[in-house]
């Protein structure tokens, strides 16, 4: 069988290791640009701008997640690491998707199940590549898999438990349209049967539209019959679980994420003490509403992972104090009208950066929000110093950009790290 690995980043390298271990034929690596990592000596290569147009003669094309299937020209089968994992995994899989909150919700699910004594594998965009550990997973283990639209694009097998969080405009720089994006998300339940479970955000029109066509048992959250918050406590139906103070995360959106996690684990454990400990044990993911430092009466919050307007809106709603928010970055095709309207509801100054700054400014002007300024600083250190000047006593400086990071920064992690370093250098 002639196999080609299409895309040779971290996932592509994992794909090569996995298929090269069993293949008696030489495997080819294709990429549109020269990979940063050293190419295997034993591999053939197709490198260049039109690399993915030249795969007609291969029997199996293993695409990396971010590579759209439509960009591959081949007579063979297009496959992926996610498809391979789902096809071969012997354990129950809980899959989690949505525009934001995937990593947090998946981590909460894994944390609770670990306290319950389960052997849990947290995979997807978190931790090691899934194929690197596939051979270690046993039948009685549980896999919690964070699934992006890129991984779901051509998925041919759905997880036993599917979780669909809030969906909003995202990755429209890659997907043809919002319909294309939502259709990709819908594959998480496409192959479920009535013995499977779909948990969905019933306040979100896109999640609801997917749930309507599902064959699985559907559970909307939050719901008085299942997981919900009442009187500052988590409940499942009429059973009280614990105080919401057990959750070590800020924001209403994280209460919703916790409800989704509780619904997902209910099949495996219904012990309130276990659930409380699992919620409490998870302290949050890096660059998600992380408190960096409190200095001179100002709290600095790193929410660099907020790459959509909806995520930035959730961040704004997480703090009642006066705020300075840093918005902007590179384009993902987002509509900024909702966040512009949200800004009007807060005592906030907005610092606009990056290529999307003009688009955000236009949206602000259209709704009558004027407390913003486009800045052309060349470093995060300058941005942070300016935010400090704008911040009122006992306020919050919030990096929650609502945009991708490319341009000034390598990625959202680099952006958050530079913000953290700049904050910690303040004197």
pLDDT in tens, 336-358: 999 999 999 999 999 999 999 99
The CA distance from 232 to 150, in Å, is 37
Same fold, 84-281 and 290-424: no
- Per the DSSP assignment, residues forming a β-bridge with 144 are 94, 122
Closest CA to 55 of 4, 9, 1: 4
pLDDT tens profile 277-325: 999 999 988 898 999 999 999 999 999 999 989 899 999 999 999 999 9
Q: What is the pLDDT of residue 276?
A: 98
- Rounded to an integer, the average pLDDT of 122-143 is 93
What's this model's pTM, rounded to 2 decimal places? 0.85
Fold of 84-281: 3.40.1190
Mean pLDDT confidence for 224-242? 98
pLDDT value of position 223 = 96
- At 171 the pLDDT is 65
Sheet holding 290-295, edge to edge: 290-295, 298-302, 396-399, 323-328, 348-353, 372-374
Q: What is the CATH number of domain 3-75?
A: 3.40.50.720
Separation CA 224–CA 311 (nearest Å): 25
Question: Which pLDDT belongs to residue 339?
Answer: 97
What ranges do the domains of the chain cover? Answer: 3-75, 84-281, 290-424
Per-residue pLDDT averaged across 218-240, rounded?
97
Cα separation of 334 and 359, whole Å? 10
Distance, in Å, from the CA atom of 299 to the CA atom of 319, rounded to the nearest integer, reads 11
The stretch 221-238 carries a mean pLDDT of 97
Spatial separation of the C-alpha atoms in residues 270 and 281, rounded to whole Å: 17
Arithmetic mean of pLDDT over the chain = 95
Please give the residue that has the higher pLDDT: either 66 or 147: 147
Confidence of residue 177 (pLDDT cuts 50, 70, 90): confident
Across 232-386, the runs of DSSP E, i.e. the strands, are: 233-236, 239-243, 290-295, 298-302, 323-328, 348-353, 372-374
Mean pLDDT of 169-175: 67
- SS percent in the chain: helix, strand, coil, step 5: 35, 20, 45
Which strand (E) or helix (H) includes residue 246? none
CATH H-level superfamily of 290-424: Mur ligase, C-terminal domain (3.90.190.20)
Percent of all residues in the chain with a pLDDT value above 90, rounded to a whole number:
87
Return the pLDDT at 350. 98
pLDDT of residue 172: 63
- Sorting pLDDT into bands at 50, 70 and 90, what band is 217? very high
Taking only the tens place, the pLDDT of each residue in 102-116 is 999 999 999 999 999
């Amino acid at each position: 069988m002639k196999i080609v690995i299409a895309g040779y980043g971290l996932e592509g390298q994992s794909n090569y290791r996995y298929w090269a271990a069993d293949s008696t034929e030489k495997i080819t690596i294709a990429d549109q640009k020269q990979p940063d990592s050293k190419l295997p000596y034993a591999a053939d290569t197709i490198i260049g701008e039109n690399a993915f147009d030249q795969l007609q003669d291969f029997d199996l094309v293993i695409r990396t997640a971010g590579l759209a299937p439509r960009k591959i020209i081949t007579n063979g089968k297009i496959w992926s690491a996610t498809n391979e994992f789902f096809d071969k995994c012997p354990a129950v899989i809980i899959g989690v998707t949505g525009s934001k909150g995937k990593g947090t919700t998946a981590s909460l699910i894994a944390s609770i199940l670990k306290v319950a004594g389960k052997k849990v594998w947290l995979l997807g965009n978190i931790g090691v590549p899934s194929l690197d550990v596939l051979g270690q997973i046993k039948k009685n283990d549980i896999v919690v898999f964070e699934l992006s639209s890129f991984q779901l694009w051509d998925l041919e097998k759905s997880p036993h438990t599917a979780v669909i969080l809030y969906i909003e405009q995202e990755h429209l720089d890659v997907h043809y349209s919002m319909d294309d994006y939502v259709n990709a998300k819908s594959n998480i339940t496409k192959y479920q049967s009535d013995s499977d479970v779909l948990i969905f955000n019933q306040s979100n029109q896109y999640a609801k539209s997917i749930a309507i066509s599902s064959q699985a048992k559907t559970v909307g959250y939050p719901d008085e019959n299942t997981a919900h918050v009442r009187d500052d406590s988590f409940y499942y139906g009429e059973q009280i679980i614990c105080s919401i103070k057990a959750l070590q995360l800020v924001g209403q959106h994280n209460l919703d994420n916790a409800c989704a996690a509780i619904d997902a684990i209910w099949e495996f454990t219904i012990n309130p003490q276990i659930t409380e400990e699992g919620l409490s044990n998870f302290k949050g993911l890096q660059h998600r509403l992380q408190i960096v430092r409190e200095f001179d009466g100002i709290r600095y919050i790193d929410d660099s992972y907020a790459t959509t307007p909806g995520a930035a809106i959730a961040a704004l709603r997480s703090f009642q104090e006066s705020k300075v928010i840093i918005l902007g970055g590179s384009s993902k095709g987002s509509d900024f009208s909702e966040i512009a309207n949200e800004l009007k509801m807060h005592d906030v100054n907005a610092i606009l950066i990056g290529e999307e700054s003009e688009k955000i400014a236009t949206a602000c002007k259209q709704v009558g929000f004027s407390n913003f300024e486009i800045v052309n600083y060349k470093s995060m250190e300058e941005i942070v110093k300016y935010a400090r000047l704008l911040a009122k006593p006992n306020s919050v400086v919030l990096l929650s950009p609502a945009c991708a990071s490319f341009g000034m920064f390598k990625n959202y992690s680099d952006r958050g790290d530079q913000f953290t370093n700049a904050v910690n250098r303040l004197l």
